Structure 1
Amino acid sequence: MDKKLGRPRSEKTKTDILTASYDLLIENGFKAITVEKIAEKAGVSKATIYKWWPNKAAVVIDSFLNATSDKLPIPNTGSTIEDMFIQVNNFVQFLISKKGNVIAEIIAEGQFDSKLADIYRQAYFKPRRSISKQILERGISRGDLRKDLNIELTIDLIWGPVFYRLLITGEVLDEIFVRNLINYVFEGIKLNF
């Protein structure tokens, strides 16, 4: 007699939901996704999704983070300026890819959905900001940067132009832009010898 396997394991079900959500996100964009569509694609009920996530935004952001987390490593070359260049350039290269274009869409949706904005700020942007902070703190420790450096403002100086181009002007985001940006910022914050 064959035994029934019963319900799928929770982790597999979660993975299926995240995969379905991410696939829908890439195929159709954030606006077109519904919990019903995620459930259908994953082969689960809506109740199963709501067991782990409070709303569509939460599952979509989790799926995005799950699929993209390995693409943004923390560089440590021994050079603060090079580490910051690598971090920003890796992110810019991701942003200009089809998968990365989703970031602009999620940010745009967040302007009308404060819960979504809170989720992407906490889950996606704060960790990246933390990486920048680690790089700059290492630079201060190594003596590459002055001890009184305003780290938070420096992070804004670095990332502000990236998002300005991404969301406002639509101007080119490429390696040359990133190299020039990092060089200009570091010219302003470097130690005076």
Structure 2
Amino acid sequence: MTNSELPTPNAAEPTRGRPRNLQTHEAILDAARTLLRREGETRFSIEQVASAAGVSKASIYRRWPTKGALLVDLYMEGFSDGVRQDARSLRSEIRRYLLATVERLKDPLWRRILCSLMAEGQYDPVTSDLLRDRVVGPRRAAGLALLTKAVETEQIPDNLDHDLILDLLFGPLWYRLLFAHAPIDDDFVDRLLKQVEPILFPSPSLGSSTTERKLT
């Protein structure tokens, strides 16, 4: 065997550390987060992310077909709604459920991402579907499961419109996010729940409790 036929040293050895694809993926997400914090959503673009991450635009589009898809992954990264379906107190779990979103939106980065998604979704059907299916849909599913469990455990009446209840809980949050006319904080959640609780937990004197309906 001649020298030219000898195998290249280490050619068959596996790459140590993180796989290159994972490194590229994380570099893109890191660059996107940094750009959003520094520039805001109005100047955020795939071109900027590619340049900051040191990758081609094609590398980004292979992973995220649109800017909206990248923003959705950024927003949902590490997100946990904190809802425990086996909780005995619906009051405490509804508060936990709302605070999961409120806590995330206290960070300007996540507010920018969600605002960008709403804006992008107005003219991009793909982003609109992603926002509904990846962000809004799972949160509503968790809320619906929570309300269904509360009915089964007789914590709330069984004749409530659960979809409308979730609209009442999240509508004010989206309104404040859209117009930024008032803060989104813990006090907002407590005040909101104070208004919604009479619907969820009507006074027995009104004859609306589950127990009274069963006795009639």
Q: Aligned-pair distance for 1:79?
A: 0.8
1:25-67 deviation digits (Å, cap 9, x = unpaired): 222223312222222222222222122221222122212322x
CA distance in 2, matches of 1:11, 1:123: 22
TM-superposed deviation, 1:111: 2.5
Q: Is the aligned partner of 1:37 residue 2:48?
A: yes
TM-score by length of 1: 0.84
AA aligned opposite 1:111: Q
2:71, 2:117 within 8 Å by CA — same for their partners in 1?
no
Q: 2:134, 2:35 → 1: CA distance?
A: 20
TM-score, with normalisation over the residues of structure 2? 0.76
- Root mean square deviation of aligned Cα: 2.5
Counterpart in 2 of 1:116?
127
1:160 is displaced (CA, Å) by: 0.8
AA in 1 matched with 2:34: D
Structure with higher Rg: it is 2
CA shift for structure 1 position 156: 0.5
Q: Secondary structure at the match of 1:100?
A: helix
* Residue range with higher mean Cα deviation, 105-114 or 170-179: 105-114
* Other-structure match for 2:155: 144
In structure 2, distance between residues paired with 1:58 and 1:105: 11
Runs (5+) with no aligned partner, structure 1: none
Structure 1 stretches of 4+ with a deviation exceeding 4 A read 4-8
Quote how far apart the aligned CAs of 1:159 are: 0.8
In structure 2, C-alpha distance between the alignment counterparts of 1:45 and 1:167, rounded to whole Å? 33
The code of the aligned residue for 1:101 comes to: R
Structure 2 counterpart of 1:69, one-letter code: F
Give the structure 2 partner of residue 81 of structure 1.
91
Equivalent residue in structure 1 for 2:198, among 182, 187, 192: 187
Aligned pairs, number: 191
Unaligned residue ranges in structure 2 (runs of 5+): 1-7, 203-207, 210-216
Alpha-carbon separation, structure 1, partners of 2:136 and 2:52: 28
1:19 maps to: 30
**How far did residue 22 of structure 1 move?**
2.3
Q: Indicate conservation of the 8 Å contact 2:66/2:127, yes or no.
A: no
Equivalent position of 1:62 in the other structure: 73
2:188 corresponding residue in structure 1: 177
Which of 91, 105, 109 does residue 99 from structure 1 map onto? 109
136 and 81 in structure 1: CA distance in 2 versus 1, 3 angstrom threshold: same
CA distance in 2, matches of 1:94, 1:117: 20
Q: Which has the higher contact order (CA 8 A, sep 6+)?
A: 1
Q: 1:46 aligns with which of 48, 54, 57?
A: 57
Give, in whole Å, the separation in 2 of the partners of 1:117 and 1:59. 13
